[in-house]
């Protein structure tokens, strides 16, 4: 289906900014003005989507997402540049990832063109919610889910693709360095499971250990692999990297780790900086022996890890301005916010 940009249902105010205290912006839900909605019936192609006023969704109580957890989400950001442009960051990559997730969850999916068009429309419709440069970003959440009723038999009669947006500040409050707890009881993902796609079912099952760790004063948790409990995998919502000498390592994507868009960019930037970059199984002992470690994600961006605690033993790592994480954060942020020329073709001006 050809993507299209439709007139908005009501006139968009020409205010440049919404009435928000940008300095106080956290990473949380803020109700903005518009959302995008497209439907697909009986696994056929998605109909042309519409920008609608933001509103609650009406859902059949027997919807596949409510009964059987058939749902995926994505996360990407729109940035306002100092010279007034609006940039998206690699939206096609999220469009491709949602397709891989949809295949895994047995769902139809929008084309990458329709996905990118939807993201552009949501960002533009909610333009006044895009924070001023340096004050945050507009976080866009596309969701694909089984909205038709299913009790016992296929096919799913209806699938919905929707996207909304919220202005956000930094996800991690302790930007200067996270203190992680290595989670030794709960596992996030299993071989041949859904850890490698952005299924909505990957998150709340690990809220118990996350809440416990936060109560104990940790910033986040780092999961070990479910098969052996010996190798590091990822955080609640971010990929992990380690630096040792001139080698940057990150766990191999093999079905249990989310193929992060930021992870991918960071590997490329590290190669540009002259590091050897490897994807491999990372035993916990190797990880604890790093010179530096950091996590990456759309929400996390690039954030240093200050310490890791495993069974009450704390290991500290280098943080601060002289770290690779700081250099990566600045380089990536300069590209995302249009402060330097994007020679990689990662940004999309809308």
Alpha helices in 111-168 (DSSP H): 112-125
First to last CA, the chain: 20
Options 220-228, 270-278, 294-302, 340-348: segment touching ligand COI (CB under 6 A)? 294-302
Given the complex with ligand COI, which of 91 and 148 has the nearer CB atom? Answer: 91
Q: Which residues does the annotation mark as catalytic?
A: 198
Dist CA 86 CA 348 (whole Å): 8
Q: How far is CA 33 from the centre of its chain?
A: 22
Given the complex with ligand COI, which of 148 and 195 has the nearer CB atom? Answer: 195
Given the complex with ligand COI, which of 281 and 299 has the nearer CB atom? Answer: 299
Dist CA 79 CA 191 (whole Å): 36
Residue keyed to tokens 């009406």: 58
137 contacts 79 by C-beta, under 8 angstroms: yes
Closest residue to bound ligand COI by CB: 75
Residues near 36 by beta carbon (within 8 Å), at least 6 away in sequence: 49, 50, 51, 52, 118, 121, 122, 161, 162, 163, 164
Given the complex with ligand COI, which of 171 and 223 has the nearer CB atom? Answer: 171
Residue 9: CB minimum distance to ligand COI, A:
28
Given the complex with ligand COI, which of 94 and 147 has the nearer CB atom? Answer: 94
Q: Contact between 75 and ligand COI (CB under 6 A)?
A: yes
- The secondary structure of residue 131, as a DSSP letter, is P
Given the complex with ligand COI, which of 258 and 284 has the nearer CB atom? Answer: 258
Q: How far is CA 166 from the centre of its chain?
A: 14
220 contacts 236 by C-beta, under 8 angstroms: yes
Selected binder of ligand COI within 237, 243, 284, 308 (CB under 6 A): 237
Options 56-64, 207-215, 268-276, 297-305: segment touching ligand COI (CB under 6 A)? 297-305
Residue 141: CB minimum distance to ligand COI, A:
8
Site string for ligand COI, 132-171 (x = CB under 6 A): ---------------------------------------x
Selected binder of ligand COI within 297, 329, 336, 347 (CB under 6 A): 297
Residue 58: CB minimum distance to ligand COI, A:
25
Q: Kindly identify the residues of this chain, within the stretch 172-201, that bind ligand COI according to CB under 6 A.
A: none
288 contacts 315 by C-beta, under 8 angstroms: yes
Residue 205: CB minimum distance to ligand COI, A:
13
Residue keyed to tokens 């020329």: 341
Compute how many residues bind ligand COI; rule: CB under 6 A: 6
Residue 308: CB minimum distance to ligand COI, A:
20
Options 210-218, 274-282, 291-299, 318-326: segment touching ligand COI (CB under 6 A)? 291-299
Residues near 99 by beta carbon (within 8 Å), at least 6 away in sequence: 109, 112
**Residues of 144-165 as b/e, b for ≥16 C-beta within 10 angstroms?**
bbbbbbbeeeeebbbbbbbbbb
Residue 7: CB minimum distance to ligand COI, A:
30
Indicate the SS3 state at residue 32: coil
Note the residues at the interface with ligand COI (CB under 6 A). Answer: 75, 171, 237, 297-299
């Amino acid at each position: 289906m050809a993507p299209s940009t439709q007139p908005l249902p009501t006139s968009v105010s020409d205010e440049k900014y919404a009435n928000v205290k940008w300095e106080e912006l956290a990473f949380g839900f803020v109700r903005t003005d518009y959302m995008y909605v497209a439907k697909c019936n009986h696994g056929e192609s998605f109909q042309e989507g519409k920008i609608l006023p933001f509103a609650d969704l009406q859902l059949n109580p027997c919807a596949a997402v409510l009964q059987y957890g058939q749902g995926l989400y994505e996360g990407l950001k729109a940035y306002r540049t100092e010279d007034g442009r609006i940039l998206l960051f690699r939206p096609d990559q999220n469009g491709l990832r949602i397709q891989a997730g949809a295949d895994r969850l047995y769902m139809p999916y929008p084309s990458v063109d329709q996905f990118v068009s939807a993201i552009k429309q949501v960002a533009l419709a909610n333009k006044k919610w895009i924070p001023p440069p340096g004050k945050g970003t507009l976080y866009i959440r596309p969701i694909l889910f089984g909205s038709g009723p299913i009790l016992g038999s296929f096919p799913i009669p209806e699938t919905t693709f929707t996207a909304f947006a919220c202005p956000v500040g930094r996800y991690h409050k302790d930007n200067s360095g996270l203190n992680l707890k290595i989670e030794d009881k709960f596992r996030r993902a299993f071989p041949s499971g859904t850890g490698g796609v952005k299924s909505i079912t990957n998150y709340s099952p690990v809220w118990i250990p996350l809440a416990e760790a936060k109560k104990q004063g940790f910033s986040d948790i780092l999961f070990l692999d479910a098969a052996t409990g010996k190798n590091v995998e990822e955080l609640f919502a971010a990929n992990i990297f380690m630096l040792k000498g001139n080698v940057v390592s990150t766990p191999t994507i093999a079905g249990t780790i989310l193929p992060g868009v930021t992870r991918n960019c960071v590997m490329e930037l590290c190669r540009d900086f002259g590091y050897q970059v490897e994807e491999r199984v990372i035993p916990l002992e190797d990880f604890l022996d790093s010179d530096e470690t950091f996590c990456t994600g759309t929400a996390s961006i690039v954030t240093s890890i200050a310490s890791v605690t495993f069974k009450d033993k704390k290991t500290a790592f280098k943080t601060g301005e002289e770290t690779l994480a700081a250099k990566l954060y600045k380089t990536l942020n300069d590209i995302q916010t249009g402060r330097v020329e994007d020679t990689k073709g990662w940004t999309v001006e809308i």
